[in-house]
Structure 1
Amino acid sequence: MAVTAAVRAGLFYFAGVFALAFLLGVVRILWLVPRLGETVAVLVELPVMLWAAWLWAGLLLRRLAVPRRAAPALVMGGTGFTLLIAAEFALGAATGTSPALQVAKWDTVSGALGLGAQILHAFFPLLRISLGRKTG
């Protein structure tokens, strides 16, 4: 039962984060990158994305009754992360970007920042439950 709730929460976690990332990505690519450059544009986008993912993780943990234990939180975050990376590769394939080129983008400053944020977002459910135990 805990795994089912965690996977379900991970699906919703992915969907919400992906939807916002898609919208912010359009803004970043069309308006920020031409004015600020790729790295600065990513640095502008990341705090918004991470803040939203943090809030979304907390909301889902409460609403979908994910058990307040490490394993379900990691399943939720891992599911969200795995689907986010899969969606990134699928979008890349749809636009003609090979998997090798997709991975090579992570070797740039902006790509490493984005990947780092995606990894961090995967741990937000665990961090939320850990902080929740300490603060009440």
Structure 2
Amino acid sequence: MSKIIRAGLTYFAIVLGTGFVLGVIRVPFLVPRIGERWAELAEMPIMATVIFLAAGFSLRRFPRICSPGRSLAAWVLALALSVCAELGLAVVLQSQTLAEFLKSRDQVSGSVYVALLLVFAVMPRLRLRNHEQNVAKNSEA
């Protein structure tokens, strides 16, 4: 069980940490120049790449979770932590209620963000298949 928790925390921490660093760049430098929507949309491909790489890293780092059930538990934990962190930071740092935060989201970049959260949730499972194939190739060699 601790490997599942550590894997989920690792995946979450890598992605959240990158998002935090990008937010520090986005808000003061990009938002004033190109606006909130375009600044958030510009960040999305970077985050998608980080999600892809973080999922692979987590699978390599924690090989004991490389089964559908164990990996699902780790990734659900990571997704839950991510959503809680996003909502918690919005409520605490921006002094908004949850309803205010949801209303304040841009429809376009907010929709892409939700899609990226779904990618975050399923990417480890998608990478698990590739990881299993690589392990099988390496054991044959």
| Band of TM-score, shorter chain | 0.7 to 0.9
Cα distance in 2 between the residues matched to 1:34 and 1:10: 35
Task: Supply the AA of the counterpart residue of 2:54.
Answer: W
Q: CA deviation at 1:56?
A: 1.3
Q: Aligned residue for 1:29?
A: 27
1:65-111 Cα offsets, whole Å, 9 max, x none, are 24322222222221111101101111112120111122334561111
Asked if structure 2 preserves the Cα contact closer than 8 Å seen for 1:42 and 1:113, the reply is no
Cα distance in 2 between the residues matched to 1:77 and 1:5: 12
Q: What is the percent sequence identity of the aligned residues?
A: 33
Cα distance in 2 between the residues matched to 1:69 and 1:39: 38
Q: Mean Cα displacement is larger for which, 44-53 or 99-108?
A: 99-108
Q: Aligned residue for 2:69?
A: 71
TM-score when normalising by structure 2: 0.84
Q: Aligned residue for 1:9?
A: 7
SS of structure 2 residue aligned to 1:71? helix
Q: CA deviation at 1:34?
A: 1.6
Cα distance in 1 between the residues matched to 2:33 and 2:109: 15
TM-score when normalising by structure 1: 0.86
Q: Aligned residue for 2:82?
A: 84
The correspondence of residues 1-136 of structure 1 with structure 2, limited to 5 A, is 3-94=1-92, 95-106=94-105, 108-134=107-133, 136=137
Cα distance in 2 between the residues matched to 1:83 and 1:93: 15
Asked if structure 1 preserves the Cα contact closer than 8 Å seen for 2:79 and 2:121, the reply is yes
Gaps in structure 2 of 5+ consecutive residues: none
Aligned CA-pair RMSD? 1.8
Asked if structure 2 preserves the Cα contact closer than 8 Å seen for 1:14 and 1:84, the reply is yes
Asked if structure 2 preserves the Cα contact closer than 8 Å seen for 1:6 and 1:76, the reply is yes
- What is the aligned residue count? 134
